[in-house]
Amino acid sequence: MNIVVAERSATERELALEIPGEKLSTLVEGKLDSVRKRIQLPGFRAGKVPKDLVRKRFGESIRAEAIEELVNQSLREAFKEKKVNPVAPGVVEELEAPEGGDIKVKALVEVDAEIELEGYQDLGISIEATAVTDEQLQTQLESIRQRLAEVKKAERPSETGDLVMARYTKVFVDGVETPAPVPVFQAELGKGIPAVDQALTGVVAGQELVIDFTFPADHPDAAQAGKSARYEVTVENVYFRILPEFTDEFATKLGPFANLEEFKARVRSDMEEEARQEARRAAHEQAVEAVLSRNPFPVPKARVSAFIEWQHDRYLKQNNGQGPSLQEFQTMLGAEAEKAVRRQRAIEWILEKEGLKATTEEVAERIRALAAQAGISEEAAREELRKTGRLMEIRESLRFEKTLDWLVGVR
């Protein structure tokens, strides 16, 4: 088989194949014999149908099937021989298969661009965590008080700070009636969309409302952002909070704390750890941005499409199948999808280049953390991860984290 590979672009390879006609003839004859053994036709015993009759009745479809099989097999052999690694199935652009002649195929496949990253060894970026101020600590303590508040049913109209439970009757978005996301929703007055909070202020259980509003442009659900909406709802209940007083006695009920000061110290410690992790994430992103800006390279369209499909599937699973279409999701992600694929490729290249690996102890430590979080033994966690195939996933995740740390000087 003659094979010619041409580079159409950094991420595309064109393969021209010339496959001997004898291979097709042999494959067709084998398929005819196979069909002849299985087929049953009136007037003939099973396996005794004349081959010429089988050829006359099924020859055209059998030949088409054989051509497709032979072309696919030949392309796989060509990829292996010429060391072409497609990132997605190729497209056959031209195909000639004359009777008695050789088969000529021209196919196009996408591949990862060959890259050689530079200037990533010393980016001058480090992790800089900011200290937790007393004001931030007080804000966090107040947030904890809110979470620990006792909730009671209000025998009065709702006020700012109350919780209002309401049942959807009808939902319209941009004038079109749509299914309610959930049967009943809870609104904390003063923390939601202002028009919705205003409509739900001063209401009592059993009251029916029509709420007209517009989703903000930065709404978490991008599919709804900026759209007009109408909620027809019935108020089910109104609740208010009774906030606890932070005292030494109350602190002892929250955990192994001797007094309120110990509890505050623990809260501060947790906030400082969170600040360190946030600073770490910010440094990682800054480092990757620097690497990508210094090393522009293209990525195959197929990889970008696969990333968008994966993110879309993930989004739908997290939202009970509700959400934008794949095309809408693609528009939402825009250039960020290509950037995410470039980011992945760059990190993979660096970790391989620098030989960064996760040690056995690092993997074990991560498993111990997962086990503690799930409330099971380390061995049980390891067995579960092994069964679900996630053990390798953890190892690869650690390699990525080590690479990002390496980029910001943690080596």
For 43-57, the pLDDT digits (tens) are 777 777 888 888 888
The label of the residue with tokens 């990889």 reads: 303
The label of the residue with tokens 């959930």 reads: 182
Contact criterion met (CB below 8 Å) for 21 and 40 = no
Give the CA distances from residue 234 to residues 155, 159, 172, 183, 237, in Å, rounded to whole numbers and listed in that order: 17, 17, 15, 11, 9
| pLDDT at residue number 198 | 96
| Bridge partners, residue 209, by sequence | 233
Distance of CA 284 to the CA centre of its chain: 19
| pLDDT at residue number 42 | 80
| pLDDT at residue number 220 | 86
| pLDDT at residue number 35 | 85
**Does the structural domain 2-110 have CATH classification 3.40.50.460?**
no
Sheet holding 2-9, edge to edge: 2-9, 12-19, 103-110, 91-96
2-110 and 150-242 have identical folds: no
**DSSP state for residue 257 in the 8-state scheme:** -
| Fold assignment, 150-242 | Chitinase A; domain 3 (3.10.50)
* Domain ranges, ordered by start, for the chain: 2-110, 115-146+261-297, 150-242
| Bridge partners, residue 96, by sequence | 104
| pLDDT at residue number 321 | 86
Contact criterion met (CB below 8 Å) for 289 and 407 = no
Contact criterion met (CB below 8 Å) for 143 and 136 = no
Distance CA 346, CA 357 (A): 16
Residue-by-residue DSSP string for 286-352: HHHHHHHHHS-----HHHHHHHHHHHHHHHHHHTTT-S--HHHHHHHHTHHHHHHHHHHHHHHHHHH
| pLDDT at residue number 395 | 92
| pLDDT at residue number 123 | 94
Which residues in the chain come in under a pLDDT of 70? Answer: none
**pLDDT tens-digit series, residues 283-325:** 999 999 999 999 999 999 999 999 999 999 999 988 888 888 9
Note the pTM of the prediction, 2 decimals.
Answer: 0.72
